[in-house]
């Protein structure tokens, strides 16, 4: 019933837009990803190898409502990286259920020449900004957790304005709902506020170089982690057909009644044309220090993401890809994971 209601609602919205505006664009993509997944727990466990398939289908509806106003909807299955049928974690020999359909995006707003504002379920690019990874997922830090678990979107409001040589962007993303409640005798039984992540970034170009300072701050209730994260994303113009990028960020949580920690991330990235396709690769090094009464505990992460993207046609592409993760704690953890996969994408 939930799936049917979602589909009917989406069709009604699409039909309404199609009848009230001629500037409605419907697009989408279909994806198939066979993957070989290898996990090694070192001295603290065994090994596991698994071959599985991941499938994804998405439909995008973009409407130009007029006078600068727009609306966006994306329909898909809300699961790991938006993929469905199997998450590759607990596969058994059985028929797999049909997926549910969700609103991965549902937002509207205004976009002018010098400023814009919008709200709803709106997109934010966690792959381009790894500070989102270390802020939202300090226990994972690498392997694009924000893109996988948040599907590169958040719920809330955001806006931007052209300011000086660049663009200032601000957002307020809702991550928890609080309320105030009294019992019949007037005694307060709950008094919590909504939880938000406030975000700010300023993107500008200087002599062809892209510079983007970023800042994220969590507003949370007592005894809940409320990290502060800041950093910068930097990209060069292309040299000999290759572009290079560096990201550096710091995060920390000092909220009373929680586990205090501090962390950092460095990313080195390269993209460029090689033969008929494009190479995209980066290396992440991250470290988190958890602060216990008995002493500090360091967790070190290393991560390689490398892909070769080749367009078979304008609408069909293939992307062989490898992702290698290491996660270590001295005398406690030694985990590594390699994911080798081929991604086939058909756009329409």
User: Each residue of 223-279: pLDDT tens digit?
Assistant: 889 999 999 999 999 988 999 999 999 999 999 889 999 999 999 999 999 999 999
Tokens of 48: 């596991």
* Cβ atoms within 10 Å of 336's Cβ, excluding its own: 16
Mean pLDDT, residues 13-38: 76
How many distinct structural domains can be found in the chain?
1
Q: Can you give the pLDDT at residue 86?
A: 44
Instruction: State in Å, rounded, how far the first CA of the chain is from the last one.
Output: 28
280 in any annotated domain: yes
Q: Residue 21 domain-assigned? A: no
Residue 186 lies in a domain: yes
Does 303 score more than 50 pLDDT?
yes
Report the percent of the chain where pLDDT is more than 90.
67
What's the CATH number where 229 sits? 2.40.160.10
What does the alpha-carbon distance between residue 73 and residue 76 come to, in Å, rounded to a whole number?
10
In a domain? residue 157: yes
Percent of the chain with pLDDT over 70: 87
Least confident of 122-126, 154-158, 190-194, 238-242: 190-194
Distances (CA, A) of 79 to 50, 76, 82, 137: 19, 9, 5, 17
In a domain, 24, yes or no: no
- The answer as to whether 13 is a domain residue is no
Residue 324 has pLDDT above 50, yes or no: yes
> What is the pTM for the complete model shown?
0.86
Residue 42, domain member (yes or no): yes
Looking at residue 6, what is its pLDDT?
Answer: 53
Q: Do 126 and 247 touch, CB atoms closer than 8 A?
A: no
- Decide if 1 is inside a domain: no
pLDDT in tens, 73-128: 999 876 654 444 444 444 444 445 566 788 889 999 999 999 999 999 999 999 99
> Which residues lie below 8 Å from residue 72, measured CB to CB, with a gap of 6+?
60, 61, 62, 63, 105, 106, 107, 108, 122
State the residue range of the domain holding 117: 29-69+77-83+95-347
How many angstroms from the chain centroid is the CA of residue 303? 16
pLDDT at 96: 54
User: Can you tell me the mean pLDDT for 149-158?
Assistant: 92
**Spatial CB neighbours of 285, under 8 Å, sequence gap ≥ 6:** 265, 266, 300, 301, 302, 303
């Amino acid at each position: 019933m939930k799936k049917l209601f979602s589909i009917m609602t989406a069709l009604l919205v699409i039909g309404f837009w199609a009848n009230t505006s001629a500037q409605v664009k419907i697009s989408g993509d279909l994806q198939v990803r066979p993957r070989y997944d290898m996990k090694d727990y070192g001295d603290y466990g065994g090994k596991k190898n698994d071959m599985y398939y991941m499938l994804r289908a998405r439909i995008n509806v973009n409407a130009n409502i007029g006078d600068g106003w727009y609306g966006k909807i994306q329909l898909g299955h809300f699961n790991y990286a938006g993929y469905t049928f199997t998450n590759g974690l607990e596969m058994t020999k059985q028929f797999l259920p049909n997926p549910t359909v969700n609103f991965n995006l549902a937002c509207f707003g205004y976009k002018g020449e010098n400023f814009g504002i919008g709200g709803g379920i709106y997109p934010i690019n966690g792959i381009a900004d790894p500070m989102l990874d270390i802020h939202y997922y300090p226990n994972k830090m690498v392997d694009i957790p924000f893109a996988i678990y948040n599907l590169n979107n958040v719920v809330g409001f955001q806006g931007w304005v052209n300011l000086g040589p660049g663009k200032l962007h601000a957002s307020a993303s809702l991550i928890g709902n609080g309320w105030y409640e009294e019992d019949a005798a007037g005694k307060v039984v709950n008094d919590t506020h909504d939880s938000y992540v406030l975000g700010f970034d300023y993107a500008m170009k200087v002599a062809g170089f892209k510079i983007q300072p970023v800042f994220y701050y969590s507003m949370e209730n007592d005894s809940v982690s409320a990290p502060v994260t800041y950093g910068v994303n930097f990209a060069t113009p292309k040299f000999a057909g290759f572009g290079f990028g560096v990201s550096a960020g710091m995060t920390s949580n000092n909220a009373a009644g929680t586990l205090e920690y501090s962390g950092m991330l460095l990313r080195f990235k390269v993209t460029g044309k090689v033969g008929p396709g494009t190479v995209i690769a980066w290396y992440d090094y991250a470290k988190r220090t958890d602060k216990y009464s008995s002493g500090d505990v360091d967790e070190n992460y290393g991560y390689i993401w490398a892909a070769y993207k080749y367009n078979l046609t304008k609408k069909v592409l293939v992307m062989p890809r490898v992702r290698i993760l290491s996660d270590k704690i001295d005398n406690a953890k030694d985990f590594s994971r390699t994911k080798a996969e081929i991604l086939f994408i058909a756009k329409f």
